[in-house]
Amino acid sequence: MAKQIHIDGSISTEKELASTASIAKRARELEELGYDGIGFAELAHDPFLPMAIAAHETKRVSLRTGIAVAFARNPMNAAVIAHDMNIYAQGRFAFGLGSQIKPHITRRFSMPWHGAAKQMREFIEAMRAIWDCWYDGTPLNYQGEFYQHSLMTPEFYHKSLEYGRPKILLAAVGPLMLKTAAAVADGLIVHPFCTEKYLKETILPTIEAELKANGKSLDTFEIVYPAFMATGDDDAQLERARHAVKHRIGFYSSTPAYKPVLAAHGWGDFQGHMNRMTKEGKWDQLANEVTDEMLETFAAVGPPAEVASKTKERFGGFIDRLTLDPNRSPDTLSQQMSILRG
């Protein structure tokens, strides 16, 4: 059965996050514009504080972290905040988790790193064990290699259980994390640094095989994709968008973990080249290294209606949720949403 694409917006800019009033206003606007959901990234700001405001200000849209950094936390505080957020959102919350890369975990957050995929599997298993304790009365006794949880006294039980366990979506690129997502999560957040070829020839076969091995099906497994789109209402806007997306492609190309995506197109050596540029501090030159062929492969490029059609053609029927830039006119957004939803 073909999947219906749901359209997500985001609250992520400094202007949108400047105050509680601006967060509330933007959340209401996105719901009124017809978005199905709102995503909150963990970059310079915590994702949960603005999400709590959005939960209060909206009635219909789903709310998702995209992503929250798992290993900057532990399974207990993650289970608590995800459960609370789902209550505030009255069942509209999905917990989007990601591992980040080792330097950020060990040097920015000063937290332990045990290997992303195996640590993430335990992290999510431990969260589920905590929720089983609250919802089913199962004694808490999770004993993993990296996480152990065996204490839950009555005053720390959650009593508000009417909205159920939050859904967990896991960000993944490589085969080990993809298998982890299929084994222990409810869905996958595809990294923006992806192509139609890599999604269809690597991600989907890996996910489907692991789901089947775990007695699950792709029909009930959600796939979220914040796809690259370079668009504008005139030539000047389009050129700025092309440059911005080229910079992001260049930035992600420098990360060794994303080399398999480049290698799928015969561009594996490009990763080392871009990595060297970042180490030399040439951040402002990254976009210049990305060819037009690379841009067109990673992103839908053109006027707004054209990029919506290209994206639908590439990924329609395979993904459940797509992130659409809200910084277009209401009429343009409505046209794009209509095309994407089909």
CB distance 203 to 242 below 8 Å: no
Q: Is residue 27 part of a domain?
A: yes
Question: What number is the average pLDDT over the span 257-265?
Answer: 94
- Whether residues 208 and 239 share a domain: the answer is no
List the CATH number of the domain containing 108.
3.20.20.30
pLDDT of the residue at 61: 98
Residue (of 95, 109, 103, 113) closest to 47 by Cα position: 95
Residue (of 249, 235, 227) closest to 295 by Cα position: 249
Per residue in 152-182, pLDDT (tens digit) is 999 999 889 999 999 999 999 989 999 999 9
- Whether residues 78 and 36 share a domain: the answer is yes
Q: Is residue 205 part of a domain?
A: yes
Per residue in 108-149, pLDDT (tens digit) is 999 999 999 999 999 999 999 999 999 999 999 999 999 999
Question: What number is the average pLDDT over the span 323-333?
Answer: 91
Categorize the per-residue pLDDT at 63 as very low, low, confident or very high, splitting at 50, 70 and 90. very high
pLDDT of the residue at 38: 98
- Whether residues 137 and 189 share a domain: the answer is yes
Question: What number is the average pLDDT over the span 243-256?
Answer: 96
pLDDT of the residue at 171: 97
Which of 174-179's residues contact partners 24+ apart within 8 Å by CB, and which partners? 174/117, 174/257, 174/260, 175/202, 175/206, 176/116, 176/117, 177/99, 177/116, 177/117, 177/120, 178/203, 178/206, 178/207, 178/210, 179/117, 179/206, 179/210
- Whether residues 324 and 337 share a domain: the answer is yes
Question: What number is the average pLDDT over the span 210-226?
Answer: 95
pLDDT of the residue at 1: 46
Domains in the chain, number: 2
CA 46 – CA 28 distance, rounded (Å):
20
Please give the model's pTM, rounded to 2 decimal places.
0.94
Q: Is residue 13 part of a domain?
A: yes
First to last CA, the chain: 14
- Whether residues 197 and 151 share a domain: the answer is yes
Which DSSP state fits 306?
A: H
- Whether residues 69 and 209 share a domain: the answer is yes
Q: Is residue 1 part of a domain?
A: no
Q: Is residue 263 part of a domain?
A: yes
- Whether residues 134 and 278 share a domain: the answer is no
Q: Is residue 90 part of a domain?
A: yes
Contacts of 171 (CB under 8 A, 6+ apart): 67, 96, 97, 98, 99, 177, 188, 189, 190, 191
Q: Is residue 228 part of a domain?
A: yes
- Whether residues 101 and 118 share a domain: the answer is yes
Query: How would you classify the pairing of strands 68-69 and 93-98?
Result: parallel
Q: Which residues are paired to 323 by β-bridges? A: 8
Residue 302 has pLDDT above 50, yes or no: yes
* Mean residue pLDDT across the chain: 96
- Whether residues 142 and 199 share a domain: the answer is yes
Residue 327 has pLDDT above 90, yes or no: no
- Whether residues 253 and 147 share a domain: the answer is no
CA 149 – CA 291 distance, rounded (Å):
50
- Whether residues 218 and 295 share a domain: the answer is no
pLDDT of the residue at 2: 62
Which tokens sit at 8? Answer: 């997500």
Stretch (H or E) spanning 224: strand 222-225
- Whether residues 251 and 227 share a domain: the answer is no
Q: Is residue 132 part of a domain?
A: yes
Residue 266 has pLDDT above 60, yes or no: yes
Domain span including residue 230: 6-234+314-341
